[in-house]
Structure 1
Amino acid sequence: MGWTKPRTPAPPAAPWYARLATTAGRPAVLAATLVMSMPGEYHVAKFAGWTDPWAYGMPFSLSAYAGIAAVVAATRPKGARGRASATIGAGFAIVLALAAQVVAHLVQTGHMDHNQAWLIALTSMVPPAVLAHLLHLAATPVPKPEAPAAPVTVAPLERVEQPAVPPMPEQAPAVPPAEAPPAIEPAAEEQRPERPAIRYSDPRCAIIRPLYDRGFRPTTGEMKAALEAANLTSPGASTLRGTLRKEIETHEPRLEHLPQRPSPLHRAG
């Protein structure tokens, strides 16, 4: 009796309250953090000189900016245009949000004076910087997936019939029939019977089939050269040997037993 590898038990399913906390807890935490961050960002805008209702735009601009930059950085493929800029922008938005909370709480607890020129200048630059970067992300094109290449369609080859040659007029023999020279037997190539017409599923097989007439099984290089001579794109070696040559030899099994063409090294030995 053979040994059977024991199956790895499936991990137990999480309890319902854990799944509920995962699915419903994330949007709840997101909403809570946005609400908690809004007062600090609002007060920083007030410290910089914005009055109501314009100061309320600071929390929305920072939150929307951080979300858009994070989504762009996560959805664009690696190496695509705009991905590095979006990643930097997402980190910059997090730094701005953190800085706004720290400055607001330091000012409110009396540890920092809000009437400072550098603080007002940096806070005033936040809205135009956010707007410029969002416009840059919007203008950066999103790469589209490349469409698969259309299959190459090769028209079937048509057999060209040779024009009929009219018979030559009969002439008197130059020598008596008894002394006429024996008829010259045609060469072996001329006595080769005409092979039956075969309809291949791939028309490229009709271009490769004449290579067998040389008495050898065609090599990958010979098949590739024949297709390129016919102005066709040559496929890979696996397709040449495993698909085209196999289909030819399926119709004519005797061709599979032809010898391989000897290499120059074998002919020299």
Structure 2
Amino acid sequence: MAAPQPTHTPPPRTPWYARLATSAGRPAVLGATLIMSMPGEYHVARFAGWSDPWAYGMPFSLSAYAGIAAVVAATRPKGARGRFSATVGAAFAIVLALAAQVVAHLVNTGHMNHDQAWLIAVTSMVPPAVLAHLLHLAATPTPVVTPSASVDTPAAAPVVEQAERIEQAPILPPLPEQPPAAPQLPPVEEQLPAPIVYRDPRCAAVRPLYDTGTRPGTAAMRDALIAAGHGRVGDSTIRGQIRTEIEEHEPNLKSLPATLPLAAGQNP
């Protein structure tokens, strides 16, 4: 029996007002903090010797620098080139923004003198340092990562860069040497049967009469012998000796039909 599968319980749905506060509240808080930070950063720039309208560039430099460095540090994978520098830059930008607020409020409340040399020197170095670090981040290439196609990788695992694998064909052992093919011989000609050698040479004069497909009669064989120059041969010799020897060598000739019907008084 199969074990019961665990059931997945969906997480409770977030109330609509909580989702609205999260989606609309974050840009509202971001705008409010930027507006509240601008006066302190502006006054610090004025303390360092910048006049209007150049002093207004200090809030934008610190705020934009902090945001860019934080985004770069959060989006680059762990171990990627430029991630550590972006993290240090984000922390440095936050420290500068905090220090600017603290210094501005201490000076405005009379707890600190704004004519101190170290304060002017540190504040004067902020724009060039921000520009140099932003150019460094822009020049550092962002690594291109490809997600792993393995089904065993959990969804929460970090995305790692996959190296392309070039599949090589397996190297097969050499084939053994094949023996040379035997030369093809020409077809052997059909061997003809050996010629029949008759004991009685007169059989050779009678044998062609069978080629018509019929068994010759005594008169036809006598005429063939006379035509071959053997003279007149007796009927008993023709039938008992010559015909017998021919059909002894070729028994199938006995089954041939007779050439002509026998005449009255003539023996086969």
TM-score, length basis structure 2: 0.56
| Structure 2 Cα separation of the partners of residues 137 and 3 of structure 1 | 54
1:67 match = 67
Which of residues 154, 178, 182 is equivalent to 1:165? 182
Aligned ranges 1:174-189 → 2 under 5 Å: none
| Partners of 1:53 and 1:151 in 2: CA distance | 64
Return the alpha-carbon distance in structure 1 between the equivalents of residues 170 and 26 of structure 2. 57
Counterpart residue number, 2:46: 46
Question: CA 1:151/1:38 → structure 2, altered by over 3 Å: closer, same or farther?
Answer: same
Q: Which residue in 1 is equivalent to 2:85? A: 85
For 1:163 and 1:43, locate their aligned partners in 2 and report how far apart those are by CA, in whole Å.
100
Which secondary structure does the structure 2 equivalent of 1:133 belong to? Answer: helix
* Match of residue 142 from structure 1: 142
Q: Whole-Å Cα distance in 2 between the matches of residues 63 and 161 of structure 1?
A: 82
Q: Give the whole-Å Cα distance in 2 for the aligned partners of 1:45 and 1:34.
A: 16
State how far apart, in whole Å, the 2-side matches of 1:3 and 1:75 are.
42
Q: CA deviation at 1:116?
A: 0.8
Q: Which runs of 5+ in 1 are unaligned?
A: 169-269
Shift of 1:79: 1.1
Q: CA deviation at 1:111?
A: 1.1
Distance in 1 between residues matched to 2:3 and 2:54, nearest whole Å: 75
Question: Partners in 2 of 1:28 and 1:54 — Cα distance?
Answer: 27
Aligned length: 168
CA displacement at 1:24 relative to structure 2: 1.1
**1:178-218 alpha-carbon deviations (Å, 9 max, x no partner):** xxxxxxxxxxxxxxxxxxxxxxxxxxxxxxxxxxxxxxxxx
Distance in 1 (CA, whole Å) between partners of 2:6 and 2:122 is: 64
Secondary structure of the corresponding residue to residue 136 of structure 1: helix
CA-based RMSD: 3.1
Amino acid at match of 1:22: T
Residue type of the alignment partner of 1:148: E
Report the identity percentage. Answer: 74
Cα 1:161–1:29 change in 2 (3 A) is farther
Give distance in 2, aligned partners of 1:71 and 1:46. Answer: 29
Q: CA-to-partner distance for each residue in 1:50-100, whole Å, 9 max, x for gaps?
A: 001100110011011111111111111111111111101100000000000
Distance (whole Å) between structure 2 residues aligned to residue 167 and residue 5 of structure 1: 73
Aligned counterparts, 1:116-127, within 5 A: 116-127=116-127
Q: 1:3 to 1:137 in 2, by over 3 A?
A: closer
Residues 1:153 and 1:31: Cα distance change in structure 2 (over 3 Å): farther
Q: Structure 1 length as normaliser, TM-score? A: 0.55
Alpha-carbon distance in structure 1 between the residues aligned to 2:34 and 2:77: 28
Alignment CA distance shift 1:2-1:79 (3 Å): closer
What's 1:16 paired with? 16
Q: CA deviation at 1:164?
A: 2.5
Alignment of 1:171-250 (within 5 A): none
1:108-123 paired onto structure 2 within 5 Å = 108-123=108-123
Aligned to 2:150: none
- SS of the residue corresponding to residue 164 of structure 1 reads coil
Equivalents in 2 of 1:138, 1:82: separation in Å?
Answer: 10
- In the TM superposition, what is the alpha-carbon distance from 1:38 to its structure 2 partner? 0.6
- 1:164 and 1:3 map into 2 onto residues whose CA distance is 66
Give the gaps of 5 or more residues in structure 2. Answer: 146-161, 186-268
CA distance in 2: counterparts of 1:4 and 1:166, whole angstroms: 74
Deviations 1:113-171 (A, max 9, x none): 111111001000101111111111112222223553344467999x9987523279xxx
The SS at the match of 1:113 is: coil
